[in-house]
Amino acid sequence: MSKLLKAYDRSRVPLYIQVASVLRTRIQSGQWGAGEKISTLEELEREFEVARVTVRQAVDILREEGMLQARQGLGTFVSKRSHDRHWVQLATNWNSLIESLKDNVPRRLTIDLQKLEAKFYELSRAFHPDFYQTKSETEQAISLSNAATLNTAYRTLRDPIQRAEYLVAIEAGAVKEIRSSPPADLFEEILELQETLEEFRASDQSSESGQQLRTQLVKEQHRLEQRKQEMETQLERLFVEWDALQDRGEATSESRAERDRLLKHMREILSNRTYIKNIVNDLVATIG
């Protein structure tokens, strides 16, 4: 196995990006001079012990960056113009990165995850710290910050609950405040559940009565998990309504009222879901 593949086993960076990083270093270090023909695809394939498509993707990246030029029938050559890769500093701001990932489309809640992943890898190619090992300390620090923020933005958009929380946060203020009281329709049941939890904690949990309390708590756990799933289903329906409103692009008083209604409903469901999730977590920690 090649050194590159061994390193890849420990890395989450796509293999073609790692190959591109090695080729880029050869150009920047002068190992391959301006106007010089580089190794053929076949030679690179053998050297790195990777598939032809991987090598081709790596070479394509450097062509897009202007570091390589393909000459029909002759091969691929190092560009004669400056190899100093244009530095594009993406704002180290979570909102900016999320908007970049979403390709500046309206703030929709239903996202094509394949397109999201493709955009994520595209930006990763531009800002991964490996690409800036020969750059200044300032540029290296910026790339580290951008890469970390990019990963956070990707995780947020990939998860539907985090995506909804983020939308509500930027549209209607923070959503992370956990309710100090349970949803109104579960108030009495939650109080009874808390009493049962305290009784179970104080009991001889290996006794018959302790086992009966455990069985009762397990049933309550499953019921609450079902309720949480119902809340998530409600959110999915609201996602559709929200996206339809965004697609219409209307700026009427009716559309603003609809927007506020949807945000309020989503915020309430998200808050209730957080409360239920915390109760379930408490149950799991108690009964194992």
Burial 198-225 (b: 16+ CB within 10 A, else e): eebeeeeeeeeeeeebbeebeebbeebe
pLDDT value at 251 more than 50: yes
Q: 63-77: per-residue pLDDT in tens?
A: 877 889 999 889 999
Q: Which residues contact 73 (CB under 8 A, 6 or more apart)?
A: none
Residue with tokens 């409103």: 245
> Residue 185 — pLDDT band, cuts 50, 70, 90?
confident
Q: 68-115: per-residue pLDDT in tens?
A: 999 988 999 998 764 444 333 333 344 555 555 554 446 789 888 888
Q: How far apart are CA 196 and CA 219, in angstroms?
A: 12
Q: How far apart are the first and last CA of the chain?
A: 44
Q: How far apart are CA 27 and CA 67, in angstroms?
A: 8
Lowest mean pLDDT among 20-24, 100-104, 118-122: 100-104
pLDDT value at 24 more than 90: no
Q: How far apart are CA 184 and CA 271, in angstroms?
A: 12
User: What percent of the chain lies above the pLDDT cut of 90?
Assistant: 32
Element (H, E) at 76: strand 75-78
Residue 81: φ, ψ to 5°: -85, 175
- Contact criterion met (CB below 8 Å) for 150 and 123: yes
Q: In the structure, how many helices (H) and strands (E) does the chain have?
A: 11, 2
Average pLDDT over residues 158-166: 90
Q: What is the DSSP string of 161-225?
A: HHHHHHHHHHHHS---PPPSS--GGGHHHHHHHHHHHHHHHHS-TTSHHHHHHHHHHHHHHHHHH
Residue 76: φ, ψ to 5°: -115, 135
Alpha-carbon distances of 199 from 125, 188, 194, 214, 258, rounded to whole Å:
56, 17, 9, 10, 46
Average pLDDT over residues 259-281: 91
Which of the pair, 99 or 238, is modelled with greater confidence?
A: 238
Average pLDDT over residues 112-128: 81
Q: How far apart are CA 125 and CA 24, in angstroms?
A: 12
Q: What is the pLDDT of residue 104?
A: 42
pTM: 0.60
Residue 11: φ, ψ to 5°: -120, 150
Beta-bridge mates of residue 70: 76
Q: How much is the mean pLDDT over the chain?
A: 80
> Residue 211 — pLDDT band, cuts 50, 70, 90?
very high
